[in-house]
Amino acid sequence: MIIRNGGRTLKAFTLIELMLVVIIIGVLAAMVMPRLVGRTDEARIAAARADIDAHLSTALDLFEMDTGHYPNALKDLRANPGIDSWKGPYLKKDPKDPWKRDYEYSLLGSDAKDYKLCSKGADETKPEDDICNQ
């Protein structure tokens, strides 16, 4: 809309034009939001997999290379458990999964040459949604 005020010409939007723009933005948001909302859990699952497969596995493998065995607990990656060949800390902070819970770590076999590292996932109860290194 054009408004003439004395010798000047002012350009402005009408209320209908502004409402039309708001409606268009609302329709676009209604189409896009459902696609983005479900991605939060997918991103957390991917972050947990990356933590387990890269970050934590690397720290555990470095510990094993230095000491000859895997640690008894994840806290041994940050504080020397009384081993002379320990060259850590291997992690800067205690590892938490994307849901702010501790990772579950356990040694496998009698010789402690392998380990299982898991996040319980979003619900903590269903084993089918656990994220593990094996």
Same domain assignment for residues 26 and 62: no
Across the chain, the runs of DSSP E, i.e. the strands, are 2-5, 8-11, 104-108, 114-119, 131-132
3-class secondary structure, 32: helix
Hey, which residues does 117 pair with through a beta bridge?
A: 105
Same domain assignment for residues 71 and 23: no
60: which residues sit within 8 A by CB, 6+ positions away?
A: 70, 71, 77, 90, 115, 117
Note if the pTM is more than 0.85.
no
| Pairing relationship of beta strands 2-5 and 8-11 according to DSSP bridges | antiparallel
pLDDT score recorded for residue 130: 85
Same domain assignment for residues 7 and 57: no
pLDDT score recorded for residue 39: 76
pLDDT score recorded for residue 100: 92
- The pLDDT profile of the chain, 134 residues, written as one tens digit per residue, is 555 666 666 677 788 888 888 888 988 888 777 777 767 788 888 899 998 988 899 999 999 999 998 999 999 999 998 999 999 899 999 899 999 999 999 998 877 788 999 998 888 777 777 889 87
Q: Say which CATH number the domain at 56 has.
A: 3.30.700.10
Report how many helices (DSSP H) and strands (DSSP E) the chain contains, helices first: 3, 5
Hey, which residues does 102 pair with through a beta bridge?
A: 96
How far is Cα 11 from Cα 68, in angstroms, rounded to an integer? 77
Number of domains the chain contains: 2
Structural domain harbouring 52:
40-132
pLDDT score recorded for residue 126: 73
